[in-house]
Amino acid sequence: MDFNKSIVENRATLGRPFFAAHRGVCGANVPCNSILAYQIALAQGAEVVEIDVSKSKDGKYFVFHPWMEPQFLKSKYLWELTAEEIDNLRLLNQDGVPTSYKIPTLQEVLALLKDKVYINVDKFWTDVEGITAEIRRAGVEKQVIVKTNVDEESLARVEKYASDLMFVPMVRGEDTITDSLLERNINLIGTEVLFDKDDCQCISDEYIAKMHEKGLLVWVNSIIYNEADVISAHHTDDISLAGYPEKGWGWLIDKKVDFIQTDWLYMLKEYYSKVY
């Protein structure tokens, strides 16, 4: 990946959607958001790696999904703990058994991914100013994709602290924000579209074509974070793995989207190589 080129240019060179590894590649004894999960994502050829950011009681940044401490640590929440206390914790595997893997710092993960892949920084909206400073400290500005909701407070913070970083707002159902964002001091590169029905405006062929005409990209998710919160109209990893990839990954690819975030990177790449 040539980070001296625009992400639109790199997408055109790639000739297919960027495949984004959600929290790295994890499972069995490898916890998500761990250094090993990200090393596996790199080994499997991810073009984008998604990371979650949390902050300690004393203001240190770690890569961990907020609110998931009961599932992945059986500990207090990270914002209740000092960096030293967090450093002494060990992540649990998928059976809830402690592993040897520590919670990595944000700087450790950014250093690992530097000059290798695009980095989607999730939970960016929780501390736009502080996380942006960490991104600059690591020197990965050209690689980082950040996102927030489209409320005015979040957008104003992006303008103030992160106007140069690649920005992807989250839109659900219909996109009513893109044109106004193009007029703001924000480095808009596209939208992350969340849709619960096939006929939602934000996943229509017309919408995607118009985005491409504007030089903008469209991000979709085949992951399932919560089955009650449908974000890709059931065109998911699950249906793809159940034997119907044409209804899941294939449907999204045929829409000519530009990013697909998955929990099953290797299987998605295998499907693409065999069918396309």
Q: Residue 182's domain is classified under what CATH number?
A: 3.20.20.190
Those residues whose C-beta lies under 8 Å from the C-beta of residue 38, and which sit 6 or more positions away, are 21, 24, 49, 51, 109, 112, 113
Q: Is residue 57 part of a domain?
A: yes
The per-residue pLDDT for 205 is: 98
Count of positions (residues) in the chain: 276
Examine residue 206 and state whether it is found in any structural domain, yes or no: yes
Confirm whether pTM is higher than 0.95: yes
Q: Whole-angstrom Cα distance, residue 98 to residue 88? A: 12
Residue in the structure block whose two tokens are 């992807």: 168
Same domain, yes or no: 18 and 137: yes
pLDDT tens for 95-109 read 999 999 999 999 999
- Domain match, 102 and 1 both: yes
What pLDDT score does 201 carry? 96
Residue type, 250: G
pLDDT category of residue 173 using cuts at 50, 70 and 90: very high
Q: Mean pLDDT over all residues of the chain?
A: 97
Number of domains the chain contains: 2
Amino acid present at 158: V
How far is CA 173 from its chain centroid? 19
Tens-place pLDDT, residues 30-84: 999 999 999 999 999 999 999 999 999 999 999 999 999 999 999 999 999 999 9
Of the candidates 108, 114, 64, 61, the residue with the CA atom closest to the CA atom of residue 83: 61
**Is residue 161 assigned to a domain?**
no
Alpha helix stretches (DSSP H) within 15-105: 35-43, 69-72, 83-87
- Residues 2 and 99 grouped into a single domain: yes
Same domain, 40 and 87: yes
- Which residues is 120 bridged to in the sheet? 50, 145
Query: Could you give phi then psi for residue 211, rounded to 5 degrees?
Result: -60, -45
pLDDT at 178: 94
Phi, psi of 218 (to 5 degrees): -125, 125
Range of the domain at 178: 168-256+265-276
Domain membership of residue 71 (yes or no) is yes
- Which domain-ending residue is among 145, 180, 208? 145
- Kindly report, residue by residue over 254-275, the tens digit of the pLDDT: 999 999 999 999 999 999 999 9
Q: CA 111, CA 94: separation in Å to the nearest integer?
A: 26
Number of H helices, E strands in the chain: 12, 11
What is the pLDDT at residue 208? 98
Beta-carbon count within 10 A of 118 CB: 23
Q: Mean pLDDT, to the nearest integer, of 241-249? A: 98
What pLDDT, on a 0 to 100 scale, did the predictor assign at position 242? Answer: 98
